Protein backbone atom coordinates (compact mmCIF):
# COMPACT_ATOMS: atom_id res chain seq x y z
CA UNK A 1 0.00 0.00 0.00
CA UNK A 2 1.09 3.57 -0.52
CA UNK A 3 -0.20 6.25 1.80
CA UNK A 4 2.85 8.52 1.56
CA UNK A 5 2.02 12.01 2.80
CA UNK A 6 2.48 14.92 0.44
CA UNK A 7 5.57 16.73 1.59
CA UNK A 8 3.52 19.96 1.92
CA UNK A 9 1.84 18.58 5.05
CA UNK A 10 3.33 17.11 8.23
CA UNK A 11 3.75 13.34 8.20
CA UNK A 12 1.67 11.04 10.38
CA UNK A 13 3.43 7.76 11.18
CA UNK A 14 1.87 4.84 13.05
CA UNK A 15 4.56 2.59 14.50
CA UNK A 16 3.75 -1.00 15.42
CA UNK A 17 5.15 -4.52 15.37
CA UNK A 18 5.85 -7.38 17.76
CA UNK A 19 7.03 -6.58 21.28
CA UNK A 20 10.81 -6.52 21.38
CA UNK A 21 11.27 -5.59 17.72
CA UNK A 22 12.44 -2.04 18.49
CA UNK A 23 9.33 0.12 18.57
CA UNK A 24 10.61 2.28 21.45
CA UNK A 25 13.90 2.86 19.61
CA UNK A 26 12.02 3.91 16.48
CA UNK A 27 9.78 6.27 18.46
CA UNK A 28 12.81 7.92 20.07
CA UNK A 29 14.49 8.29 16.67
CA UNK A 30 11.43 10.05 15.29
CA UNK A 31 11.22 12.28 18.36
CA UNK A 32 14.86 13.30 17.92
CA UNK A 33 14.10 14.04 14.27
CA UNK A 34 11.46 16.60 15.26
CA UNK A 35 8.30 14.51 15.44
CA UNK A 36 5.76 14.92 18.21
CA UNK A 37 5.41 11.41 19.63
CA UNK A 38 2.67 9.65 21.60
CA UNK A 39 3.30 6.10 22.74
CA UNK A 40 0.66 3.55 23.73
CA UNK A 41 -2.27 5.80 22.90
CA UNK A 42 -5.58 3.87 23.23
CA UNK A 43 -7.00 3.39 19.74
CA UNK A 44 -10.35 4.68 20.90
CA UNK A 45 -8.82 8.12 21.44
CA UNK A 46 -7.46 8.50 17.90
CA UNK A 47 -10.57 10.14 16.48
CA UNK A 48 -10.69 12.63 19.35
CA UNK A 49 -7.00 13.41 18.82
CA UNK A 50 -7.67 14.60 15.27
CA UNK A 51 -10.71 16.69 16.01
CA UNK A 52 -8.27 19.44 16.99
CA UNK A 53 -6.71 21.82 14.42
CA UNK A 54 -4.64 20.33 11.62
CA UNK A 55 -1.16 19.01 12.33
CA UNK A 56 1.49 21.70 12.40
CA UNK A 57 4.40 19.28 12.87
CA UNK A 58 5.02 15.61 12.05
CA UNK A 59 3.42 13.15 14.47
CA UNK A 60 4.35 9.56 15.34
CA UNK A 61 2.05 7.22 17.29
CA UNK A 62 3.33 4.05 18.94
CA UNK A 63 0.77 1.24 18.95
CA UNK A 64 1.14 -2.31 20.25
CA UNK A 65 -0.63 -5.07 22.15
CA UNK A 66 -0.15 -3.27 25.45
CA UNK A 67 -2.78 -0.74 24.35
CA UNK A 68 -5.87 -1.63 26.34
CA UNK A 69 -8.13 -1.78 23.27
CA UNK A 70 -5.62 -3.16 20.77
CA UNK A 71 -6.88 -5.74 18.27
CA UNK A 72 -6.60 -6.49 14.56
CA UNK A 73 -10.01 -4.98 13.89
CA UNK A 74 -9.44 -1.91 16.08
CA UNK A 75 -6.12 -0.99 14.46
CA UNK A 76 -7.30 -1.60 10.88
CA UNK A 77 -10.47 0.39 11.57
CA UNK A 78 -8.43 3.23 13.07
CA UNK A 79 -6.17 3.22 10.04
CA UNK A 80 -9.17 3.41 7.73
CA UNK A 81 -10.64 6.25 9.79
CA UNK A 82 -7.43 8.24 9.50
CA UNK A 83 -7.30 7.67 5.74
CA UNK A 84 -10.81 9.10 5.45
CA UNK A 85 -9.96 12.17 7.54
CA UNK A 86 -9.31 15.26 5.44
CA UNK A 87 -5.75 16.50 5.61
CA UNK A 88 -4.30 13.22 6.90
CA UNK A 89 -2.24 10.64 5.02
CA UNK A 90 -1.14 8.08 7.61
CA UNK A 91 1.86 5.85 7.04
CA UNK A 92 2.12 2.51 8.80
CA UNK A 93 5.62 1.53 9.92
CA UNK A 94 5.85 -2.12 10.88
CA UNK A 95 8.92 -3.33 12.74
CA UNK A 96 9.37 -7.03 12.11
CA UNK A 97 11.71 -9.50 13.78
CA UNK A 98 12.42 -13.22 13.59
CA UNK A 99 10.84 -15.25 16.42
CA UNK A 100 14.20 -16.75 17.47
CA UNK A 101 15.65 -13.25 17.84
CA UNK A 102 12.66 -12.05 19.85
CA UNK A 103 13.06 -15.08 22.13
CA UNK A 104 16.71 -14.26 22.65
CA UNK A 105 15.96 -10.62 23.46
CA UNK A 106 13.34 -11.63 26.02
CA UNK A 107 15.76 -14.13 27.51
CA UNK A 108 18.46 -11.45 27.82
CA UNK A 109 16.16 -8.92 29.49
CA UNK A 110 14.20 -11.51 31.52
CA UNK A 111 10.98 -9.68 30.78
CA UNK A 112 7.56 -11.31 30.62
CA UNK A 113 5.81 -11.20 27.30
CA UNK A 114 2.61 -9.11 27.46
CA UNK A 115 0.62 -11.89 25.75
CA UNK A 116 1.99 -14.67 27.95
CA UNK A 117 2.62 -13.25 31.45
CA UNK A 118 2.44 -16.70 33.08
CA UNK A 119 3.95 -18.71 30.21
CA UNK A 120 7.17 -18.75 28.23
CA UNK A 121 8.02 -15.79 25.98
CA UNK A 122 7.89 -18.15 22.99
CA UNK A 123 4.16 -18.70 23.57
CA UNK A 124 3.49 -14.97 23.69
CA UNK A 125 5.61 -14.29 20.62
CA UNK A 126 3.73 -16.90 18.58
CA UNK A 127 0.36 -15.43 19.62
CA UNK A 128 1.41 -11.87 18.90
CA UNK A 129 2.85 -12.63 15.46
CA UNK A 130 -0.37 -14.41 14.54
CA UNK A 131 -2.42 -11.44 15.76
CA UNK A 132 -0.30 -8.94 13.82
CA UNK A 133 -0.14 -10.83 10.51
CA UNK A 134 -3.03 -8.91 8.83
CA UNK A 135 -1.59 -5.63 10.09
CA UNK A 136 1.88 -6.51 8.77
CA UNK A 137 0.32 -6.97 5.34
CA UNK A 138 -0.93 -3.35 5.41
CA UNK A 139 2.48 -1.81 6.18
CA UNK A 140 3.75 1.06 4.06
CA UNK A 141 7.26 0.54 5.40
CA UNK A 142 8.46 -2.76 6.84
CA UNK A 143 11.82 -2.88 8.61
CA UNK A 144 13.21 -6.24 9.72
CA UNK A 145 15.23 -5.56 12.87
CA UNK A 146 16.46 -9.14 13.37
CA UNK A 147 20.07 -8.32 12.53
CA UNK A 148 20.00 -4.63 13.43
CA UNK A 149 21.63 -2.85 16.33
CA UNK A 150 19.60 -0.01 17.91
CA UNK A 151 21.86 2.49 16.12
CA UNK A 152 21.28 0.83 12.75
CA UNK A 153 17.52 0.89 13.36
CA UNK A 154 17.63 4.60 14.19
CA UNK A 155 19.49 5.28 10.93
CA UNK A 156 16.98 3.26 8.93
CA UNK A 157 14.00 5.04 10.49
CA UNK A 158 15.60 8.41 9.80
CA UNK A 159 16.31 7.37 6.20
CA UNK A 160 12.62 6.65 5.64
CA UNK A 161 10.94 9.34 7.69
CA UNK A 162 13.47 12.16 8.21
CA UNK A 163 15.63 12.20 5.07
CA UNK A 164 15.91 15.98 4.95
CA UNK A 165 17.00 16.60 8.52
CA UNK A 166 20.36 18.29 8.73
CA UNK A 167 22.82 17.94 11.60
CA UNK A 168 21.07 16.09 14.41
CA UNK A 169 23.78 16.29 17.05
CA UNK A 170 23.30 19.15 19.47
CA UNK A 171 26.53 20.33 21.09
CA UNK A 172 26.93 22.05 24.43
CA UNK A 173 30.27 23.45 25.56
CA UNK A 174 30.53 24.68 29.12
CA UNK A 175 33.03 25.93 31.65
CA UNK A 176 33.00 25.20 35.37
CA UNK A 177 34.96 25.38 38.61
CA UNK A 178 36.28 22.17 40.15
CA UNK A 179 35.51 23.69 43.54
CA UNK A 180 31.82 23.21 42.82
CA UNK A 181 32.21 19.84 41.14
CA UNK A 182 31.91 18.53 37.62
CA UNK A 183 28.51 19.34 36.04
CA UNK A 184 26.08 16.47 35.71
CA UNK A 185 25.58 15.00 32.27
CA UNK A 186 28.88 16.12 30.73
CA UNK A 187 30.13 13.53 28.23
CA UNK A 188 33.74 14.71 27.95
CA UNK A 189 35.73 16.76 30.50
CA UNK A 190 39.08 18.55 30.09
CA UNK A 191 41.13 19.99 32.94
CA UNK A 192 42.59 23.41 32.10
CA UNK A 193 44.44 23.89 35.39
CA UNK A 194 47.80 23.17 33.73
CA UNK A 195 47.62 26.52 31.91
CA UNK A 196 49.06 29.73 33.33
CA UNK A 197 46.47 31.24 35.67
CA UNK A 198 45.46 34.88 34.99
CA UNK A 199 44.14 35.07 38.54
CA UNK A 200 47.66 35.81 39.76
CA UNK A 201 47.87 38.90 37.56
CA UNK A 202 46.29 41.68 39.60
CA UNK A 203 45.04 43.56 36.56
CA UNK A 204 43.35 40.42 35.17
CA UNK A 205 41.87 39.01 38.36
CA UNK A 206 38.51 40.75 38.04
CA UNK A 207 38.19 39.91 34.31
CA UNK A 208 37.01 36.61 32.85
CA UNK A 209 38.00 34.43 29.91
CA UNK A 210 35.94 36.43 27.44
CA UNK A 211 38.21 39.44 27.99
CA UNK A 212 40.72 40.14 25.21
CA UNK A 213 43.47 40.72 27.78
CA UNK A 214 42.81 37.38 29.48
CA UNK A 215 42.65 35.64 26.09
CA UNK A 216 45.99 37.12 25.08
CA UNK A 217 47.58 36.16 28.40
CA UNK A 218 46.48 32.50 28.21
CA UNK A 219 47.39 32.28 24.52
CA UNK A 220 50.96 33.26 25.37
CA UNK A 221 51.33 30.05 27.38
CA UNK A 222 53.44 27.83 25.09
CA UNK A 223 51.35 24.81 26.06
CA UNK A 224 48.02 26.26 24.97
CA UNK A 225 48.37 26.15 21.17
CA UNK A 226 49.49 22.50 20.89
CA UNK A 227 46.88 21.49 23.47
CA UNK A 228 44.09 23.24 21.62
CA UNK A 229 45.15 21.99 18.17
CA UNK A 230 45.17 18.39 19.36
CA UNK A 231 41.91 18.90 21.23
CA UNK A 232 40.14 20.30 18.16
CA UNK A 233 41.46 17.56 15.88
CA UNK A 234 40.27 14.88 18.28
CA UNK A 235 36.79 16.37 18.74
CA UNK A 236 36.29 16.90 15.00
CA UNK A 237 37.27 13.27 14.51
CA UNK A 238 34.89 11.99 17.20
CA UNK A 239 31.74 14.04 16.56
CA UNK A 240 30.79 12.35 13.25
CA UNK A 241 31.28 8.98 14.94
CA UNK A 242 28.95 9.93 17.80
CA UNK A 243 26.43 11.19 15.25
CA UNK A 244 26.64 7.89 13.35
CA UNK A 245 26.06 6.03 16.61
CA UNK A 246 22.72 7.77 17.02
CA UNK A 247 23.62 10.40 19.60
CA UNK A 248 21.32 13.43 19.56
CA UNK A 249 23.29 15.53 22.06
CA UNK A 250 26.90 15.75 23.22
CA UNK A 251 28.32 17.90 26.02
CA UNK A 252 31.93 18.99 26.51
CA UNK A 253 33.14 20.55 29.74
CA UNK A 254 36.24 22.57 30.61
CA UNK A 255 37.20 23.01 34.24
CA UNK A 256 39.68 25.16 36.11
CA UNK A 257 40.09 26.30 39.70
CA UNK A 258 37.56 29.13 39.78
CA UNK A 259 35.73 28.63 36.49
CA UNK A 260 36.43 32.22 35.50
CA UNK A 261 39.51 32.45 33.29
CA UNK A 262 41.12 29.39 31.70
CA UNK A 263 38.07 27.19 31.33
CA UNK A 264 35.96 30.08 30.02
CA UNK A 265 38.56 31.07 27.43
CA UNK A 266 39.04 27.51 26.20
CA UNK A 267 35.30 26.89 25.98
CA UNK A 268 34.87 30.09 23.98
CA UNK A 269 37.68 29.13 21.60
CA UNK A 270 36.34 25.63 21.03
CA UNK A 271 32.77 26.85 20.47
CA UNK A 272 33.98 29.33 17.90
CA UNK A 273 36.12 26.72 16.11
CA UNK A 274 33.28 24.16 15.99
CA UNK A 275 30.84 26.78 14.71
CA UNK A 276 33.27 27.61 11.91
CA UNK A 277 33.21 23.92 10.98
CA UNK A 278 29.41 24.02 10.65
CA UNK A 279 28.40 22.51 13.99
CA UNK A 280 25.55 24.06 16.00
CA UNK A 281 26.92 24.86 19.43
CA UNK A 282 25.43 26.30 22.59
CA UNK A 283 27.77 27.59 25.29
CA UNK A 284 27.34 27.96 29.03
CA UNK A 285 29.65 29.33 31.71
CA UNK A 286 28.29 27.88 34.91
CA UNK A 287 30.17 30.00 37.42
CA UNK A 288 29.82 33.26 35.48
CA UNK A 289 26.08 32.66 35.06
CA UNK A 290 25.76 31.89 38.75
CA UNK A 291 27.73 34.99 39.74
CA UNK A 292 25.57 37.15 37.49
CA UNK A 293 22.43 35.88 39.21
CA UNK A 294 23.87 36.47 42.68
CA UNK A 295 24.92 40.02 41.90
CA UNK A 296 21.72 40.99 40.10
CA UNK A 297 20.07 43.79 42.10
CA UNK A 298 16.81 42.87 43.79
CA UNK A 299 13.76 44.76 42.52
CA UNK A 300 12.01 46.99 44.99
CA UNK A 301 8.26 46.79 45.48
CA UNK A 302 7.86 49.88 43.33
CA UNK A 303 9.99 48.31 40.56
CA UNK A 304 7.84 45.17 40.61
CA UNK A 305 4.64 47.26 40.45
CA UNK A 306 6.04 49.32 37.54
CA UNK A 307 7.08 46.13 35.72
CA UNK A 308 3.62 44.65 36.15
CA UNK A 309 2.02 47.81 34.83
Q: Is 159 exposed, middle or buried (0-12, 13-18, 19+ CB in 10 A)?
A: exposed
Tell me how far CA of residue 123 lies from CA of 10, 33, 145, 167, 207, in angstroms: 39, 35, 20, 43, 69
Tell me, yes or no, whether 271 lies in a domain.
yes
**pLDDT value at position 202?**
94
Q: Are residues 157 and 174 in the same domain?
A: no
Same-domain status, 188 and 127: no
The larger pLDDT score, comparing residue 145 to residue 48, is at 145
- Domain stops at, among 106, 128, 161: 161
Residues 243 and 282 in one domain: yes
What pLDDT was estimated at residue 161? 87
Average pLDDT over the chain reads: 84
In whole angstroms, what is the distance from residue 23 CA to residue 69 CA?
18
pTM flag (> 0.95): no
> Pseudo-torsion of CA 194, 198, 202, 205, nearest 10°?
-110
Q: State which of 103, 132, 161 marks the end of a domain.
A: 161
Residue span of the structural domain in which 105 resides: 12-161
Where does the pLDDT of residue 8 fall: very low under 50, low under 70, confident under 90, or very high at 90 and above? Answer: low
pLDDT of residue 296: 56
User: How sure is the predictor about 309, in pLDDT bands with cuts at 50, 70 and 90?
Assistant: very low
Greatest mean pLDDT among 53-67, 160-174, 260-274 lies in 260-274
Confidence of residue 307 (pLDDT cuts 50, 70, 90): very low
Same domain, 154 and 178: no
Beta bridge partners of 190: 254
User: Same domain for 19 and 157?
Assistant: yes
Boundary residue ending a domain (94, 126, 161): 161
Residues 115, 244: one domain? no
Number of domains in the chain: 2
Distance CA 223, CA 225 (A): 6
Q: How many residues does the chain have?
A: 309
Sign of CA dihedral 97, 22, 154, 149: negative
**239-257: pLDDT as tens digits:** 999 888 777 789 999 999 9
Percent of the chain as helix, strand, coil, to the nearest 5: 45, 15, 40
Amino acid sequence: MNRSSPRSQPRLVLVTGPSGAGRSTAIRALEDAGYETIDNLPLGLLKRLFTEPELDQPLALGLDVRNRDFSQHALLSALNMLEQTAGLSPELLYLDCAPRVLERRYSETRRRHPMAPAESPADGIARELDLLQPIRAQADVLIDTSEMTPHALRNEVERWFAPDTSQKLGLTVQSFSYKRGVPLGVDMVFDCRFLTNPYWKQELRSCDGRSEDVAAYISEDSRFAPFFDRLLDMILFLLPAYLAEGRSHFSIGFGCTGGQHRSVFTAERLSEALAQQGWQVSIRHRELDRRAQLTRPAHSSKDKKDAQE
